[in-house]
Structure 1
Amino acid sequence: MADDLAYGTVPSFYREVYDIVCPNPADGKVDQDVFIKILVKSSLPKQTLSTIWEAADNKQGYLTRSGLYKALALTALAQQGKPVSEKMLENYGKEELPKPHLGDLSDLRTLSAQVRREKNPNVLSYTYKDLVALDSVTIDLVPEKKGLLLKHVEYEVKSEFFKSSVMRRYSDFDALYDMLISRYPYRMVPRLPPKKMLGANREFIEGRRRALLRFLTLVVRHPVFHSSDVIRYFLTFQGTDMQHRIKEQFRGTPDEYVTSPLALSAKELVPMDTQMQYSNAREHVKRLFASIYQLKHIVDQMALRSAASASDMLLMAKELNMMGSESQVASTWAMGVNESWPKIKTGLKAISVEFAALADKHSVQGKREDNNVAERIALILDLLQAYKDLGDRLEKGLVKDHQNALAKMGSIKKKKMTATVKGSDHVGEVEQLESRIIEQESQIMTMENRNYFSLHCIQMETQLVHANIDILAEVVQALSKTELQGHKELTQVWEDTTAKVDTHMTMGLLSSSSS
C-alpha cells in the first residue's frame, strides 16, 4: 500500500482506526481535531502528545494515512515507556508495529462522527457500518407469567453496548414510544406493533416479538437516540413498573429543540432549497416504500410456498409409507402374471423416507426465507414508514400551529387598529393589545425557529434513511444466498431420492418383465 510506512508491518488495527477516522477514502485526510481526541484517549501526558503530534504533522492541518500510522506506532511506544522516536520504529524492520491502547473502537467511531458533525452539522457523518456498530439488541420471550387477572408476555431485552439484560413488557415499549415522540418530535420514531392481548396465539406473539426487535434496533441505531438518557434508562433500569417509572424519571424534560445547541442557529443550517429537496425526498421514499412493500409480499409468498411444499412432501411420504406398509398380500388370483406389486410396495416404503427429508428441507427453506430475507425487508419498511410518519406529524402539527399563530396575530392587529381609530377612550385597550402583539410576535419567532430546526432535523433524518439503505443490498444478497443454499440442498436430496427410485422401481419393473 502506497501510504504504508517504510518500516515495520502495519497491523490491521491501524487500518481499522484509519477507516473510522477517515470514512471518505477519496479524501484521504484525517482531521486534526479528530486525531487530537484520539491521542487524548491514550491517557498519555500532554508533553508526550505534543511530541507525537509534531512527529506526525505534515504542517497542512491534517494527517495522511502514513502520518496516522506513524502517530499510532509512536503512541504505542510511549505507552510502553519507550522514547517517542522514529528511529525506534525503524528497528522493527519487517516486524509488526506495536498496537496502542485506545479503548473501545465503538467509542472511537462515535467520537469521530461527533467531531465531523460539529464541523459540518449538515452532514450526518454516519455510514451503515457506523450505525450497526452503535449497538446490537436482542429480544427473547420468557416463560409465560400470570398477572393478578390476565396472563402477560414478558421479554428479556439485551444490549451489547450497555452490556445489560432487563425484563420488559409491551406496555414498557409503549411508554418508551410516547417518550421518544414527546422528546424528539422532529425525529423518526418507528411504529410499535399492535397490542392485542385477548386471544393472542403463539404466532401473533412471535410476530410481535420480531416487530419489537425491529423497533428497538432502529431506535438504538439512531445517532440521536443512541446517546439519549431515555434509551439508557430503558435498557439498564432493573426495577419494576418501567412504564410509570420512565415517565416519572423524565417528566418535565423539554424536547430536543429546547436543549439542542443548534436550535438558535438552525436558520443558518437550512439551505435555501430545503423545501424542494424535502418534497423530492418524500416522493422518493414513497416510491421506495411501495416497491419494497411489494418485495415483502413476494418473499412472504415464497416462504408460504416453501411451507406448503414441506406439507405436500410430508403428505406424500405418509401415503407412500402407508402403501408400502400394507399388510394384505396380493394373491396370484389378483396379480396373474404381473408380480410387480410386492417389489414396488417394498420400494415405496424405502422411498417414503426420502420424501420426509424433502419435507424437512422445504420447511427449513421457508424459515430461512422468513428470517433471513423477509425480516430484513420488514426492517427497512419500518424505517421508511417512520420517515413518512414524521412528515405527516410535521404537516399536521408544526405547520398548523404556525398558521394558527399568524391568523391570531392578524386578528389582534385588526382589533388594535379598530381601537386606535375609536380614539382616546380606548387607550387602555390599545396598550393591552400592543402587549399581546409583542407576546404573540415572540411566540411566532419561536415557532419560526422551531420550523427551521425541524427542517434541519428533516435533512438529517433523510440522510439517515440513505445511510440505512444498505439494508436493501443486504436483502438482495440474503435472498440470493438463501435460494442458492436451499436449491443446492433440495437438489442433493432429489438426487438421493432419484437413486433410490431407480433402484427400487426398476427392480419391480424388471421382476415383472422377467416373469
Structure 2
Amino acid sequence: METDNVVIRLVPEKKGLILKHSEYEISTRKYKTTVVRRYNDFVTLHSLLVSRFPYRMLPRLPPKQLMLDSFLEERRRGLQRYLQIVCQHPVLSSGPMLETFLTDKSNEHIEHLRSVFSKELDEYSALSENEDLPLEDQGRLAASRENMRIMLNSVIRLKRLLEQHSQRLQNQAVDFSEMSNILKNIDSSNCFKNQSFASLQTSLNSTVTTTTKSSATLSYAITEKINLLLDILTAHSDLCDRVERGIVSDHQKALSKMLTINKQKIKGVIRGSAPEDVQALHQQEVAQNGVIGTLGRKSAFSLRCVLQETSLANKYLQILPSVLLSFSYEQQVLNAETAKAWETVMTNECNQLNQ
C-alpha cells in the first residue's frame, strides 16, 4: 500500500486571545495540487461519505480534542491515515466527491461540497435494477469476520507492546544521559589515579543517540503502520456492526410482520370474516412481500460489499510481516551498535588498568 499519495502538513493559526483553530495543508500526488482544510471540513466529508457509501469500510476520524500542542501532531497523523485509506479505496475514491474535497480552492468549498453531494443516492439506491445480487455464503462471511476480530485484538495488543517498548527506550536514553553528566562532573584524576571516565562518557552518549533514534523509528514509522492497520480493522468491525444492526435487523422485522399478517389472514378465513377484511389482509401480504423482496436484495448487496471490504482489509494486512521484520531489524541494529559502544569502553578501561 502506498503511503505517500497524501501528505498533510499542520498550519496552526490563532484567532484572538482565546479561540483558535488549526488548518491542514493537504498535498496529493494524484491531483498534483494543494488545498487548505480545517477539521470540520473533514467532518463534513466523512458524513457525506457515510451517507453515500454506508456499506463500505470508512475509518474513524481522530477525535476533536482540545487545541493543545501535544494533540495536534497526533490528530494530523490520524487525518493523514484517514485520507490515505479513503484515497486508496477502489470505491470511495472513484467518485467526484473526494476529488472536489482535494482540489476545490474556492472560499466556499464546503458549501459547494454539501450542495452538490448531500442529496446523492446511496450506493445501493443508485444500483441498476438489472444488477444480479446472489446471496453470499453467510457461513463464509461469519468466519471471515471472526478472523478479522482476532486480528483486530492482536494488532491492538501489538500496538500497546510497541508503545511500551518505545517508552522504555526513551527512559533508558534519559538515564544514560544523566549518568554521563554525573561522570562529567567527577574529578577522576584525584580519586582514581590515571584512570578517567572519558571513554565511558563517550559510550554512554553514543548509546543515548542510538537509543533515541531507535525509539523515534518505533514511534514514527513502525507504530504508525500499526495504527494504519488498526484503523482498517476498526473500520471493518464498524461496517459489520452497521450491517447487522441495519439491514439484517430490518429483514428479520419484515419477516416477523409477514408471519403476523399470514396468521391473521388464516384466522379470518377459518372464522368466516367479511370478504373485504380478508382482501385487505391479502393486500397487506402482497405489499409486505414487496418489502421483503427489497430488503432481501439490499441484504444481498450489503453482504457482497462486506465480502469485498474483507478482501480489501486482508490486502492491508499483508504489510504486517514487513512491519514486524522492520521491528526485528531495528532491534538488531540497536543491539549491535550498543554492544560495539560498550566493547570500546571495556577495551579502553582494560588498557588503562594494565598501564
Q: Give 1:382's match in structure 2, choosing from 220, 231, 253.
A: 231
Deviation at residue 170 of structure 1 after TM alignment? 1.7
Determine the C-alpha separation between the residues in 2 that align with 1:251 and 1:418.
47
Determine the C-alpha separation between the residues in 1 that align with 2:164 and 2:130.
47
- Listed as ranges, the gaps of 5+ residues in structure 1 are 1-130, 331-338, 511-515
Deviation at residue 392 of structure 1 after TM alignment? 0.7
Q: Secondary structure at the match of 1:153?
A: strand
Q: Secondary structure at the match of 2:119?
A: coil
Percent of aligned pairs sharing the same letter:
32
Aligned pairs, how many?
353
Q: Give 1:482's match in structure 2, choosing from 311, 326, 330.
A: 330
Q: Secondary structure at the match of 1:358?
A: helix
Q: Secondary structure at the match of 1:316?
A: helix
Aligned to 2:14: 145
Q: 1:362 to 1:276 in 2, by over 3 A?
A: same
Letter in 2 for 1:132: E
Aligned to 2:342: 494
Letter in 2 for 1:184: F
Q: How does 1:80-479 map to 2 (within 5 A)?
A: 132=2, 136-146=5-15, 150-197=19-66, 200-240=67-107, 243-261=110-128, 264-267=131-134, 270-271=135-136, 274-324=137-187, 340-341=191-192, 343-344=194-195, 347-348=196-197, 351-413=200-262, 421-423=272-274, 427=276, 434-479=282-327
Q: 1:253 to 1:492 in 2, by over 3 A?
A: same
Q: Secondary structure at the match of 2:92?
A: helix
Say whether the 8 Å CA contact 1:372–1:482 is kept in structure 2. no
Q: 1:159 to 1:405 in 2, by over 3 A?
A: same
Q: 1:242 to 1:430 in 2, by over 3 A?
A: farther
Deviation at residue 406 of structure 1 after TM alignment? 2.7
Q: How does 1:42-61 map to 2 (within 5 A)?
A: none
Give me the TM-score of the superposition, normalised by structure 2.
Answer: 0.88
Say whether the 8 Å CA contact 1:139–1:209 is kept in structure 2. yes
Deviation at residue 456 of structure 1 after TM alignment? 1.1
Q: Which has the higher contact order (CA 8 A, sep 6+)?
A: 2
Q: Secondary structure at the match of 2:124?
A: helix
Deviation at residue 249 of structure 1 after TM alignment? 2.2
Determine the C-alpha separation between the residues in 2 that align with 1:445 and 1:241.
43
Higher Cα Rg, which structure: 1
Say whether the 8 Å CA contact 1:171–1:243 is kept in structure 2. no
Give me the TM-score of the superposition, normalised by structure 1.
Answer: 0.62
